[in-house]
Amino acid sequence: MDFRHPYLPITQEDEKLMLKSIGRASMEELFSTIPEKYRLRRDLKIPDSHSELDVTRRIQELANKNRPMGDGRIFLGSGVGLHYIPAAVPALAGRSEFVTAYTSYQPEISQGMLQTLFEYQSLMAEILDIDVVNSSMYDMASGIAEAARMAVRVATHRSRILVPGTINPRHYKVLLTYTEPANIEVEKVEYDSKTGLMSISDLKSKMDENAAGVYIENPSYLGFIETQVDSINKIVHDAGAILIAGVDILSLGIVRPPGSYGADVVVGEGQELGLPMSYGGPLLGVFGCKMDRKLVYQMPGRLVGMTRTMAEPYERGFVLTLSPREQHIRREKATSNICSNEALAAVTSAIYLSLLGPAGLDQVSEAIAFRSNYAAKELGSIPGVVAPAIGRSIWKEFVVRFEKGPSARAVHEGLLARNLHGGTILTDEFPALGESMLFSVTEVHSKPIIDELVKTVKDIVTRGGRR
């Protein structure tokens, strides 16, 4: 009887047929190009089997080594933030009606999920002050990349995208990954070293006939507010290019929405809207644009629309108005490969926003603004510490520079030793900022915790971390 692997559904006969089809006599010949020193000639060091009780105890033992995030002692941001999630959000989002629903290929049996996604689109469109929002992207990084490709498709015969010099480094890497195969050139625009604002003169000099679009962030990755959005909008549109705005959606309770200053395409990260950090995923890419046919038809992702019967009594119905995936009629012209799991993240954000309402969104935005500005002011009062080190107006995140004493790495390790997690170290990403760190302060950070952070940083800086 042929040996059957407990996890691989393949027989010895199957293996022989596969090897024959590729012109190999044996598995040894198939892997002959792999040097001997890289081959494993022993059994893997896998523990023997254990009872369910023993495994559960071991997992709990490992889990107990983790430090809880809910106590507000984490000041790490950089695109994925620590926010409070109301208990009703996971309770509703986890219902089987949502969890088991597949992509809405058959609208006649998917009305519930289609309507829910339509509500998500409507909520986001209102908050962003933009006309059309799709049913989500993978994350903000892929949203930026798709927006860049979209701009080049719309602005024909142009192949260059301009981005701020302060762009999130991880988003920038994803952008390059998406644009390189499409022969799209990505160029950074200089920024003021003190305010962080985009250099208007440098932007104007680079707005030639090959510039398809300009991407701006407001608030920026480094936390400051870009106050020149109206001027940038005019420069971009006077040159016939497309303005792409990246936003922090929770900031829109107090910061101008991108549609109000003329953004053609809008992207954002929806993780902060009811989704846990979960070691960096799942995330949610928010993507919208103006009601312009040339933009809407080139939009990636899916778009849910609402219709109704022609005669009274009117009955509503929901359909996939735009579905540009590769397995549909678009084939090689597809502009998206977004799938079902992203719909669940969108549903979660819709539930979160519905629970907050307009007043709740304003309160969260204001709470973050008060706490982050208080933290920056207190940290900036420490001798040898500058905060915010770049920008005048900040929201949620801000740069802290250590001009004297320990390095940013030493401060970070000192905070960890005292059960506090500092911000993202910027020394390698933005060497011009010196020994610096990007702190993120949200609604979950209480005044006592912020005060403890300030006191601890002061101790580390002034005493070299000695207790």
Of the chain, the end-to-end C-alpha distance in Å amounts to 69
287 with 383, same domain? no
- Residue 197 tokens, joined: 């604002």
3-state secondary structure of 24: coil
What residue has token string 């009703």? 88
Distances (CA, A) of 312 to 89, 107, 305, 318: 36, 22, 20, 18
User: What's the pLDDT score for residue 110?
Assistant: 82
Q: Which residue, among 393, 406, 399, 467, has the nearest Cα to 431 in the 3D structure?
A: 399
Q: What are phi and psi of 330, to 5 degrees?
A: -75, -30
* Cβ neighbourhood burial of 215 (10 Å; 0-12, 13-18, 19+): buried
What residue has token string 């892929």? 142
- Residue 297 tokens, joined: 């038809």
The total number of structural domains in the chain stands at 2
Residue 110 belongs to domain with CATH number: 3.40.640.10
Q: How far apart are CA 75 and CA 396, in angstroms?
A: 10
Does 278 fall in a domain?
A: yes
195 with 122, same domain? yes
Distances (CA, A) of 83 to 158, 270, 271: 40, 12, 9
DSSP secondary structure code for residue 336 in this structure: B
Would you say 452 and 71 are in contact if contact means Cβ atoms under 8 Å apart?
no
Does 33 fall in a domain?
A: no
User: What's the pLDDT score for residue 339?
Assistant: 60
For 385, residues 6+ apart whose C-beta sits below 8 A from its C-beta are 379, 400, 401, 402, 403, 457, 458, 461
Q: List b or e across 345-361, with b for residues whose CB sees 16 or more CB atoms inside 10 angstroms.
A: bbbbbbbbbeebeeeeb
Does 13 fall in a domain?
A: no
> What is the pLDDT of the chain when averaged over all its residues?
91
- Residue 286 tokens, joined: 């928010």
279 with 393, same domain? no
400 with 416, same domain? yes
Q: What would you measure as the largest C-alpha separation in the chain, in angstroms?
A: 78
Task: Give residue-wise pLDDT tens across range 6-48.
Answer: 777 888 888 899 999 999 999 889 999 999 999 888 888 888 8
Cis peptide before 219 (omega within 30 of 0): yes
Does 170 fall in a domain?
A: yes
- Residue 183 tokens, joined: 């022969």
179 with 113, same domain? yes
Q: Give the range of the structural domain holding residue 412, as residue numbers without chain letter.
A: 358-463
What is the secondary structure of 69-115 as a DSSP string? STTS-B---TTS------THHHHHHTSHHHHT----S-GGG-HHHHH
User: What's the pLDDT score for residue 140?
Assistant: 95
252 with 395, same domain? no
Q: Where are the alpha helices (DSSP H) in 111-168?
A: 111-128, 140-154
Q: How far apart are CA 449 and CA 75, in angstroms?
A: 10
3-state secondary structure of 339: coil
Would you say 133 and 321 are in contact if contact means Cβ atoms under 8 Å apart?
no
Does 67 fall in a domain?
A: no
- Residue 80: how many other CB atoms lie within 10 Å: 22
Q: How far apart are CA 114 and CA 376, in angstroms?
A: 43
Residue type at 340 in one-letter notation:
S
218 with 154, same domain? yes
What residue has token string 């049996």? 109
Q: Which contiguous run of DSSP H or E holds residue 43?
A: none
Would you say 150 and 141 are in contact if contact means Cβ atoms under 8 Å apart?
no
Residue 428 belongs to domain with CATH number: 3.90.1150.10
Q: Which residue, among 318, 334, 316, 315, has the nearest Cα to 326 in the 3D structure?
A: 334
Instruction: Note the residue count of the chain.
Output: 467
Of 354, 373, 396, the residue at which a domain comes to its end is 354
276 with 160, same domain? yes
User: What's the pLDDT score for residue 48?
Assistant: 85
Of 302, 320, 354, the residue at which a domain comes to its end is 354
111 with 126, same domain? yes
Does 233 fall in a domain?
A: yes
256 with 377, same domain? no
- Residue 247 tokens, joined: 């936003």
Of 295, 328, 354, the residue at which a domain comes to its end is 354
Does 82 fall in a domain?
A: no
CA 352 to chain centre: 17
276 with 398, same domain? no
186 with 278, same domain? yes
How does pLDDT run along the chain (467 residues), one tens digit per residue? Answer: 455 677 778 888 888 999 999 999 998 899 999 999 998 888 888 888 899 999 999 999 999 988 777 778 999 988 888 999 999 999 999 998 888 776 666 777 788 888 999 999 999 999 999 999 998 899 999 999 999 999 999 998 999 999 999 999 999 999 999 999 999 999 999 999 999 999 999 999 999 999 999 999 999 999 999 999 999 999 999 999 999 999 999 999 999 999 999 999 999 999 999 999 887 778 999 999 999 999 998 988 888 999 988 888 888 999 888 875 545 555 666 666 666 567 889 999 999 999 999 999 999 999 999 999 999 999 999 999 999 999 989 999 999 999 988 999 999 999 999 999 999 999 999 999 999 999 999 999 999 999 999 999 999 998 765 55
Does 10 fall in a domain?
A: no
